[in-house]
């Protein structure tokens, strides 16, 4: 839904001190731990998690996902605490004592200007009208309108909502806090999401049993190490990738918060632009700082753009040793427009089956061109695309049916909500008489 952007100061972030304490307990570290101490503890913990996963797989019992979840928790802790270590080192070098709250991006609310007795409170028209409607009513109205298509929403606002309801809803949207960012709040479509970004270590029997470390940087861009001869080297490579990802997110988040609230239609665009600029900037800063371990300096890393559209199916670009080349693939595949190729995505470009079909055609043509340049035969490309298109069409039809059903239910709920509100207001008016 459209917003004016006046609510940008109401940025709610998760309490960093609580998360920091949790991460320190997870890694058994003191608040003053150095980067070297953090690296050593992280390596020991990850090695233990990988060995636990191997043992479970060998015994054929227990949940194989438990060690993977533990690895993701360790990765999140390492990433956050590495940024904190870097901030403390930077403060010591600058000779300034900055409090922990000042190190983190928190935008304080603008204080209200006090008025003299003769002035009285200055309440805007929208604020006055918002007081006439309950918080619960405005929240329900917002949730229902959000589930409608843009065309349905515009018609509903123009034809079904009164002027006072429109103004009250707009003022309520401006004054409400943005959704809380939890962990790596990312999403390919630009909206906040609590799903953590992936971090993995795996071995490949076809490649001599070597180990690989990989992370999802977000928004369809992945990074991984070259093959490592032993597991400790893979853990060191994973640590480097996590530091890079942390710096990348650190660059992206302030730009997004300055540009728009999470509910604004401009948030996805700003998010993608900030991400594209933040990736090379983060890698440059990490290279300038130097690796924390000698093994990392000899490691090579690769980047790949991936666009998932059905579970288990995705269009992937070539593996690149240069982040800038991978970002070029990322743009060619349309990842900067969101990670979904299915109708119903939050981005307006992909909000209808027709728009989704257009984007699918653009994406697979870019994918085929990309791999044709790398020497892949036209016959192989056509066979692969035929299989993928069959999967995409099936998923597209299913998503379209679900989307139309959800929009029809939302339209009925809106009519009922407004009818109940009208009856309630009429009853109140009769009581006052």
Mean pLDDT of 82-87: 84
Question: Which carries the bigger pLDDT value, residue 342 or residue 147?
Answer: 147
Domain count, the chain: 2
Length of the chain: 433
Q: Are residues 199 and 288 in the same domain?
A: yes
Res. 130: pLDDT tops 60: no
Mean pLDDT of 150-162: 88
- Please check whether residue 57 lies inside any domain of the structure: yes
- What does the pLDDT look like over 246-292, one tens digit per residue? 888 776 665 444 444 444 433 444 467 778 887 887 777 666 554 44
Q: Are residues 394 and 343 in the same domain?
A: yes
Q: Are residues 183 and 245 in the same domain?
A: yes
- Please check whether residue 100 lies inside any domain of the structure: no
Candidate from 55-69, 214-228, 390-404 with smallest mean pLDDT: 55-69
- Please check whether residue 377 lies inside any domain of the structure: yes
Q: Residue 13 contacts by C-beta under 8 Å, 6 or more apart in sequence? A: 104, 105, 106, 180, 181
Share of the chain above pLDDT 70, in %: 68
Q: Are residues 257 and 389 in the same domain?
A: no
State which of 248, 264, 299 marks the end of a domain: 299
- Please check whether residue 144 lies inside any domain of the structure: no
Rounded-to-integer distance, Cα 377 and Cα 233, Å: 36
Rounded-to-integer distance, Cα 333 and Cα 118, Å: 62
Please say whether the beta carbons of 250 and 336 come within 8 A.
no
Q: Are residues 359 and 407 in the same domain?
A: yes
Other residues' Cβ atoms within 10 Å of the Cβ of residue 121: 7
What pLDDT, on a 0 to 100 scale, did the predictor assign at position 59?
A: 54
- Please check whether residue 127 lies inside any domain of the structure: no
Q: Are residues 86 and 167 in the same domain?
A: yes
The full 3-state SS of 152-180, as one line of letters, equals HHHHHHHHCCCHHHHHHHHHHHHHCCCCC
Q: Are residues 47 and 156 in the same domain?
A: yes
Cα-only R_g, the chain: 25
Please say whether the beta carbons of 362 and 318 come within 8 A.
no
What pLDDT, on a 0 to 100 scale, did the predictor assign at position 129?
A: 52
Tell me the two tokens of residue 261: 């609230």
- Please check whether residue 168 lies inside any domain of the structure: yes
Q: Are residues 293 and 386 in the same domain?
A: no
- Please check whether residue 126 lies inside any domain of the structure: no
Q: Are residues 249 and 379 in the same domain?
A: no
Please say whether the beta carbons of 239 and 292 come within 8 A.
yes
Res. 121: pLDDT tops 60: no
Candidate from 110-119, 306-315, 345-354 with smallest mean pLDDT: 110-119
Tell me 146's DSSP state: H
Q: Are residues 367 and 403 in the same domain?
A: yes
What pLDDT, on a 0 to 100 scale, did the predictor assign at position 318?
A: 93
DSSP-derived pairing of the beta strands 301-310 and 199-204: unpaired
Candidate from 247-261, 365-379, 389-403 with smallest mean pLDDT: 247-261
Residue 86 lies in domain: 1-94+149-299
Q: Are residues 352 and 389 in the same domain?
A: yes
Q: Are residues 392 and 258 in the same domain?
A: no
pLDDT-based confidence at residue 57 (cuts at 50, 70, 90):
low
The full 3-state SS of 2-16, as one line of letters, equals CCCCHHHHCCCECCH
- Please check whether residue 108 lies inside any domain of the structure: no
pLDDT-based confidence at residue 372 (cuts at 50, 70, 90):
very high
Q: Could you give the 3-state DSSP secondary structure of residue 384? A: helix
Tell me 181's DSSP state: B
């Amino acid at each position: 839904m459209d917003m004016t952007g006046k609510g940008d100061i109401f940025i709610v972030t998760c309490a960093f001190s609580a998360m920091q304490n949790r991460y320190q307990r997870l890694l058994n570290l003191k608040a003053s731990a150095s980067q070297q101490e953090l690296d050593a503890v992280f390596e020991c913990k990850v090695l233990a998690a990988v060995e636990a996963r191997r043992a479970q797989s060998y015994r054929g019992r227990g949940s194989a996902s438990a060690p993977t979840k533990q690895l993701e928790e360790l990765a999140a802790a390492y990433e956050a605490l590495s940024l904190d270590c870097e901030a403390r080192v930077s403060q010591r070098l600058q000779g300034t004592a900055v409090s922990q709250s000042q190190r983190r991006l928190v935008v304080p609310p603008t204080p209200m200007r006090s008025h003299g007795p003769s002035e009285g409170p200055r309440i805007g028209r929208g604020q006055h009208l918002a007081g006439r409607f309950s918080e619960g009513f405005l929240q329900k109205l917002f949730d229902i309108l959000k589930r409608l298509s843009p065309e349905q929403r515009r018609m509903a606002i123009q034809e079904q909502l009164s002027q006072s309801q429109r103004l009250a809803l707009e003022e309520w949207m401006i004054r409400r806090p943005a959704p809380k960012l939890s962990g790596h709040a990312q999403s390919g479509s630009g909206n906040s999401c609590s799903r953590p970004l992936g971090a993995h270590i795996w071995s490949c029997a076809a490649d001599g049993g070597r180990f690989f470390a990989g992370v999802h940087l977000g928004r369809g861009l992945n990074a991984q190490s070259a093959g490592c001869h032993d597991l400790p080297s893979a853990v060191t490579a994973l640590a480097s990738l996590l530091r890079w990802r942390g710096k990348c997110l650190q660059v992206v988040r302030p730009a997004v918060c300055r540009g728009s609230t999470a509910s604004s239609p401009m948030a996805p665009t700003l998010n993608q632009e900030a991400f594209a600029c933040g990736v090379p900037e983060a890698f440059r800063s990490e290279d300038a700082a130097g690796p924390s371990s000698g093994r990392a300096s000899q490691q090579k890393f690769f980047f790949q753009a991936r666009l998932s559209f059905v579970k288990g199916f995705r269009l992937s670009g070539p593996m690149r040793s240069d982040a800038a080349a991978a970002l070029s693939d990322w743009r060619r595949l349309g990842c900067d427009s969101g990670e979904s190729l299915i109708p119903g995505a939050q981005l307006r470009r992909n909000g209808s089956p027709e728009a989704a079909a257009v984007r699918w055609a653009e994406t697979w043509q870019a994918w085929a061109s990309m791999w044709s340049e790398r020497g892949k035969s036209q016959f192989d490309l056509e066979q692969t695309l035929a299989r993928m298109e069959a999967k995409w069409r099936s998923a597209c039809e299913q998503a379209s049916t679900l989307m139309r059903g959800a929009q029809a239910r939302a339209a009925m709920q809106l009519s009922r909500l407004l009818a109940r509100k009208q009856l309630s207001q009429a009853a109140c008016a009769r009581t006052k008489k």
